[in-house]
Structure 1
Amino acid sequence: MQARKTFIGPHLRRLRRERDQTQAEMAKALGISAAYVNLLENNQRSVSVSVMLRLLEVYGVDWREITDEDTGARLADLRGILQDPIFDSTRPDLQELRGALAHAPRMLSAFAQLHHAYQAAMDQIQVIAAGMGADEPLLNSAPEAVVHNYFRRNRNHFPALEAAAESFWGGPAPASDDLYAALKARLHASHKIIVRLVRVADLPRTLRQYDEARAELLLSEALDHPNRIFQLVHVLGLIEYEKVIEELLTDAALNSPQGRARCRVELANYFAAAVLMPYGAFLAEARDSKYDFDHLATRFGVSFEQACHRATTLQRDGAHGVPFFFLRIDKAGNVTKRFNATDFQLAEYGGACPRMDVHMTFRTPGRIIPQLVEMPDASRYFVISRTVDRPTFERHGQDNRLAVAMGCTVEHATDLGYAEGMSLGDAHATPIGINCRVCPRVGCEQRAHHATILTAPVDEHRRGATRYDTFQG
């Protein structure tokens, strides 16, 4: 296998300038030529081990401070940012992006911060427009958006939580039919917490309630068996791995209490999924079954939705799964949860594009619907959609369903059994957008809002497929 080359150009240039040195002065200190320093700074040469050790000796810097192991994730994030329709006329190509990352990483970081601030401002404008939260600071994003961005920056993968999950049992895990009893016993023996299953009437509109003062954990009878187990592992994660989770929260740099609380819940959910679906075993089973999520849910004793969640986290270096995006919507089209390990831009407000078949799944509950879609930038994704049932508290809430969509780029679709029999190369793809407010497609018969980026004049003498399709073209 060819050794991986390491480039440190921008970091070396910053190191030199912070010490007010010329290239010749740095070259003398390192025992190399000024021409070689120039080549290193312009990423025209990779750094050798001997020069790296000399940098450590002369400048006292850790190699991790001047090497960038996250270039792939940063490149994916930048490509995602540039899918915003405001860049349609100025979007750089992949080669330009790679060059900018190599030579001006701090400028691109500033650009990403500026775009995040713009998104936060747009978030607040939409909230104010809806008559909500007008007393909130202007640039505060919704907690869900902040948490999503944090997970996105980490490629929806947290090695610290994976390591914690692998150490959870301290040996072989109990048999699947003994899990519930083992978890209850652990809560009682290690933390003096009693687990009680209570009637729906005794825990109204609540699935889990932990009373720390009484050392009591109450679970509603509305939870099915897999979700009772999931909730117990979730609570144990919050208690036993509090330090790990708090360190991740510190890294997330979340300012609002709401954001920290939401992120803590999602990190504990991640931990619980990693315990119940161990990384190596889950990845192997996913590959063997060609990502049959019904099979994976049965094999690991979890829900269909939990198996989908877990598949989005398989981003370990050297052991990657298919990179998925995950989208969950309610019957009104509102996005209630989203995770992303791809460049696909997920809708946050007002629901996903109505052209996506995830909206059709409510007509055929429990049935998986495959679909090939194309974004405005011509990128194509293979998507499967299905409804999932929520806990039912009473007969009036029997149709308490949501719908989930799992998607990957067409390049990975051949790894999925759901794509078997589909001609992915030349098949017709459904044209979609992020949502109507920012979609640049003209003449869409499903348009529900006038897109803010469509500035062509209105033709008063023409009525298109919708009342928004009245532009001169």
Structure 2
Amino acid sequence: MMKTFIGPRLRRLRREAKQTQAEMAKTLGISNSYVNMLEKNERSVSVPVLLRLFEAYGVDWRDLSDDDDAATLSHLRAAFQDPLFAGTSPDLPQLRALLSHAPDVAQSLLKLHNAYRATTDQLLVLSNASETNLSILRASPESVVHDFFRDNRNHFPELEEAAAQFWADGPCDSDDIYAALKARLKDRLGLNTRLVPVADMPGTLREYDERRGEVRLSEGLNHPNRAFQLAHVIGLIEQREVIDTILTRLDSDAPAGLNRCRVELANYFAASVLMPYDAFLKEALACKYDFAHLALRFGVSFEQACHRATTLQRKGAEGVPFFFLRIDKAGNVTKRFNSTGFHLAEFGGACPRLDVHTAFRRPGSILPQLVEMPDGSRFFVFACTVNRPRLTRHSQDKRLAIAMGCSIDHLSRIGYVEDLSQANSRVTEVGINCRICPRANCDQRAHNAMILTEPVDIHRRGETRYST
């Protein structure tokens, strides 16, 4: 039987109860020395003591278990990939020991590294910013959203439960969903839905006018996106209290980040309504994550189906853990969500060795790729272009490209692996981005990495001007 150590959590529980070790020992009916050894992780906790903890303090044994350690361990491993820790990065047993004996120190270290990362990125921006614009020192709203979703494993059970209750009268056929959503807005919320010509609502795809009791949708939206926008509005209104409760866990009070998180949580709810968890997971496993098939099956867009797959992290019913990356034609990262150990770029664009950039030359094609990060971890990634709403003849070719990736441990569950040819089955060495990538002689390097301080040999020209 696996031994359960709860030392730091037990110490925190005792302090919250404002008790001494002797007082806790008396409450639990055990000796002072046993409490002391439990807190030092010198003894594992027994089932009877766990039950007494539940009775005396009203705490569930799962709150004292190590369920959250896997996510924290993943975050620590990602943080220690930072070149800042080169040469001193702890190994996996050391990180496990840190989590076991000093979880608060581990959380504090992660907060410190996140602050360092945000400050470093903002310093890069400040070179082109006004010195008086102090608000730029805050983490960007995109960083706030990404970190918040990552800290919650990209999964929000409260919204999943609310979405599961949405179709209480039974599932709705995909071709009837739009009409059902319009009816729900009208019957339950007193809101009319109106389709508006592009010229009458320029630069806007959806607008909720609370005063007039109306939701206006642009004619530029296709059918799947019209349904998604209606589900989003319903989520903003009907699930306001649920979303407010979730946002109390957000470690930020900046209005921009708060509002962005609220929007993304409403998007999460909309995706959960249109792609119910159990049905979507079952279909995804059956078709080996064929996202074109999933999009047709659930009446959503390809991008929406991909994004939904990153959220399938319910305990006991997990899907493949994916990361999701979206870029524009200039290589800027416009959206990112992650439930893997792959470290996604935030500043300066994604690694140019990723085939997501090549996707623009082959629109609509699925490009599979095997990649290796500087720490030796390997991932399977596939990329494809997606189209944005085309509102006028002047807004042609508004494509973006998305990349979905997972650890190679899950290759057998992904159908796109079968499309790997002999030419692209080789493993491509990639990094986070050029500014912090340790691959000194990469032929795609665009910047001299901050961690590479060795002077360039003036008598030698390498593949790039940054080669040593």
TM-score, normalised on structure 2? Answer: 0.94
Tell me whether 1:393 sits opposite 2:414 in the alignment: no
Tell me whether 1:245 sits opposite 2:243 in the alignment: yes
Report the Cα distance in structure 1 between the residues aligned to 2:226 and 2:56, rounded to whole angstroms.
Answer: 57
Aligned residue number for residue 322 of structure 1: 320
Which amino acid in the other structure matches residue 88 of structure 2?
T
Which amino acid in the other structure matches residue 393 of structure 1?
L
Aligned mate of 1:187, from 185, 191, 196: 185
8 Å CA contact retained: 1:374, 1:381: yes
Identify which range, 326-335 or 35-44, moves more after superposition: 35-44
8 Å CA contact retained: 2:154, 2:310: yes
Aligned mate of 1:226, from 215, 218, 224: 224
Aligned residue number for residue 279 of structure 1: 277
Aligned mate of 2:407, from 406, 409, 413: 409
Aligned residue number for residue 447 of structure 2: 449
Report the Cα distance in structure 2 between the residues aligned to 1:460 and 1:224, rounded to whole angstroms.
Answer: 57
Identify which range, 135-144 or 38-47, moves more after superposition: 38-47
Which amino acid in the other structure matches residue 352 of structure 1?
A
Aligned mate of 1:153, from 151, 154, 174: 151
8 Å CA contact retained: 1:326, 1:340: yes
Aligned mate of 1:337, from 319, 323, 335: 335
Aligned mate of 1:313, from 307, 311, 324: 311
Report the Cα distance in structure 1 between the residues aligned to 2:320 and 2:60, rounded to whole angstroms.
Answer: 33
**Does the residue aligned with 2:384 lie in a helix, a strand or coil?**
strand
Which amino acid in the other structure matches residue 8 of structure 1?
I
8 Å CA contact retained: 1:121, 1:138: no
Aligned residue number for residue 68 of structure 2: 70
Report the Cα distance in structure 2 between the residues aligned to 1:330 and 1:421, rounded to whole angstroms.
Answer: 25
Aligned residue number for residue 114 of structure 2: 116
Measured after TM superposition, the shift of residue 150 of structure 1 is 0.2
Report the Cα distance in structure 2 between the residues aligned to 1:206 and 1:138, rounded to whole angstroms.
Answer: 27
Measured after TM superposition, the shift of residue 440 of structure 1 is 0.7
Measured after TM superposition, the shift of residue 368 of structure 1 is 0.3
8 Å CA contact retained: 2:326, 2:334: yes
Aligned residue number for residue 166 of structure 2: 168
Aligned mate of 1:211, from 209, 212, 216: 209
- Report the RMSD for the aligned CA atoms in angstroms: 2.2
Report the Cα distance in structure 1 between the residues aligned to 2:429 and 2:228, rounded to whole angstroms.
Answer: 38
1:296-346 alpha-carbon deviations (Å, 9 max, x no partner): 001000000000000000000000100000000000000000000001110
> Could you say if the C-alpha distance between residues 60 and 163 of structure 1 is closer, same or farther in structure 2, counting changes exceeding 3 Å?
closer
8 Å CA contact retained: 1:414, 1:420: no
> Could you say if the C-alpha distance between residues 397 and 97 of structure 1 is closer, same or farther in structure 2, counting changes exceeding 3 Å?
same
8 Å CA contact retained: 1:123, 1:142: no
Report the Cα distance in structure 2 between the residues aligned to 1:75 and 1:37, rounded to whole angstroms.
Answer: 26
Aligned residue number for residue 300 of structure 2: 302
Report the Cα distance in structure 2 between the residues aligned to 1:180 and 1:17, rounded to whole angstroms.
Answer: 53
Report the Cα distance in structure 2 between the residues aligned to 1:223 and 1:76, rounded to whole angstroms.
Answer: 38
**Does the residue aligned with 1:46 lie in a helix, a strand or coil?**
coil
Which amino acid in the other structure matches residue 286 of structure 1?
A
Which amino acid in the other structure matches residue 207 of structure 1?
L
Aligned residue number for residue 376 of structure 1: 374
Report the Cα distance in structure 1 between the residues aligned to 2:55 and 2:269, rounded to whole angstroms.
Answer: 40
Measured after TM superposition, the shift of residue 136 of structure 1 is 2.8
Measured after TM superposition, the shift of residue 95 of structure 1 is 1.3
**Does the residue aligned with 1:420 lie in a helix, a strand or coil?**
helix
Which amino acid in the other structure matches residue 265 of structure 1?
V
Tell me whether 1:54 sits opposite 2:88 in the alignment: no
Tell me whether 1:292 sits opposite 2:290 in the alignment: yes
Any gaps of 5 or more consecutive residues in structure 2? none
Measured after TM superposition, the shift of residue 137 of structure 1 is 3.7
8 Å CA contact retained: 1:222, 1:392: yes
Report the Cα distance in structure 2 between the residues aligned to 1:25 and 1:188, rounded to whole angstroms.
Answer: 59
Measured after TM superposition, the shift of residue 396 of structure 1 is 1.9
Report the Cα distance in structure 1 between the residues aligned to 2:44 and 2:229, rounded to whole angstroms.
Answer: 49
What's the % identity of the aligned pairs? 62
Report the Cα distance in structure 1 between the residues aligned to 2:267 and 2:411, rounded to whole angstroms.
Answer: 27
Measured after TM superposition, the shift of residue 165 of structure 1 is 0.3
Aligned residue number for residue 263 of structure 2: 265
> Could you say if the C-alpha distance between residues 31 and 171 of structure 1 is closer, same or farther in structure 2, counting changes exceeding 3 Å?
same
Any gaps of 5 or more consecutive residues in structure 1? none
1:35-86 alpha-carbon deviations (Å, 9 max, x no partner): 5434423435432232123335556766566445311111111112112121
TM-score, normalised on structure 1? Answer: 0.93
1:64-119 alpha-carbon deviations (Å, 9 max, x no partner): 66445311111111112112121221111111111110001111111111111101
Report the Cα distance in structure 2 between the residues aligned to 1:147 and 1:36, rounded to whole angstroms.
Answer: 43
